[in-house]
Each structure stands twice: as structure tokens, then as C-alpha cells.
Chains A and B, each alone.
Chain A
Amino acid sequence: NAGVTQTPKFQVLKTGQSMTLQCAQDMNHEYMSWYRQDPGMGLRLIHYSVGAGITDQGEVPNGYNVSRSTTEDFPLRLLSAAPSQTSVYFCASSYSVGFREKLFFGSGTQLSVL
């Protein structure tokens, strides 16, 4: 049981490049989400999904797109990377949408945009 798997672990991009951060979970969780973690700040929600075909914006969605074609996968796309997107990105999932549920996090992707 792998849990939540994120790839890649590290990535360096040039300003304006695009890329996709991959996230997969094998726990049949309904809820999946993407966060960014910046020094001195709490995790901030980028986008989330409550099930296949359903996505919504979080606190900091600008510059990012998501889709959820299957229960297992929830990729995060950066369309035109900017230095302000340098951060550590975490994918998380939980069994249901209710906010009593604990989140299961991936190991993170450290992204640097030059």
C-alpha cells in the first residue's frame, strides 16, 4: 500500500516553462488536494477535488490548473512558471470531504523557478 505518491521529488524550471506535478493515491480516497509550503507560512491550499470530474479552487489558485479524470490521480499543472512559484508542493488525500478526516500527504515536490 503506497499511500500518496508524488513525482518528481525535485524540479528546476526556467521562467515561462510549463510542467505537471503528478500525484496518485491507492486508498480510494474521494478528496484530493494540492498545497504549497513556503518558509514561515502555513500550508496553503491551491486546488482540491471532491471526486472524479470535480475540482475547485483553494486559497492560492492563480497560475495552476488541475484535473481529476480518475479517483486515483490528481495532477497539478503550471502553465507558465514564475519565480513566485518556487516552493515545496504537497499533494494530500482523505477518505471523505468532511474536515474531521485526517489528510494523508505525499512526500512533496521541491520546485525552483529561475
Chain B
Amino acid sequence: KNQVEQSPQSLIILEGKNCTLQCNYTVSPFSNLRWYKQDTGRGPVSLTIMTFSENTKSNGRYTATLDADTKQSSLHITASQLSDSASYICVVSDFNDMRFGAGTRLTVKP
């Protein structure tokens, strides 16, 4: 069983709408959690990093949350744009390794 589970697997929303992507993990001990954005045909690009003491962090229209007690993170996208269409990958690190989620494929339609 993957130590990092993402949901939903895929999501279609209309341009301008908000959405929330989920990441649940069992990685222990916990060091940090990153969200990456992967455009089609490209490599992933880091959006944000969450450490144990951080609950919320924003990067423009992207807001990540972390609940280290329940081992859950979410990525909220506000006022979606066509360019937000991509896969979003959650990566959780202990102090020796990184574990990658399978990603959520987001499609934003006009």
C-alpha cells in the first residue's frame, strides 16, 4: 500500500471555480510535505513545502494546509484558470526518503 494516497484521481471543473485536492499519508517520522505541479509532457515543479509546524501556506491562488495529527494535507485552488490544468503530486519526506503520491489530474474547462 502506497504511503501517500491522493484523491480524487481526476477532477474536472469549470474555469473560475475553486477546488480542493487531498493527500493522506502514513509516512513516519514526518519531515516535510511538498506539492508539485506537473504539466502534460513536463517534469514536476514545486509549488510549496509544508513542515511540521506549519498549518497553512499560500502561493498566489494556491493554498496548502497540513494537519500533522491526522496526517492529511490539502491543496486549494482559487478562481481556477485554464493553465491550472495539470497533475498535482503530493510528496512526503521522512528524514531519509521521499514518497510520491500518484497525483490528481485536474482539468479546467472554459
Contacts and interface: CB of A to CB of B under 8 A. Distances in A.
Answer yes or no: do A and B interact: yes
Give the interface residue-count category, chain A: 10 to 19
B108 to A, nearest CB: 21
Give the interface residue-count category, chain B: 20 to 34
Nearest to A110: B41
B95 A107 contact: no
Contacts of A102: 34, 46, 49
Interface in B77-98: 89, 93-98
28 contacts: A4-B43, A35-B100, A40-B9, A40-B102, A41-B2, A41-B102, A42-B4, A42-B89, A42-B100, A42-B101, A42-B103, A43-B100, A44-B100, A90-B44, A92-B43, A99-B32, A99-B94, A99-B95, A99-B98, A100-B31, A100-B51, A102-B34, A103-B44, A103-B46, A106-B43, A107-B41, A107-B43, A108-B42
Interface of B: 2, 4, 9, 31-32, 34, 41-46, 49, 51, 89, 93-103
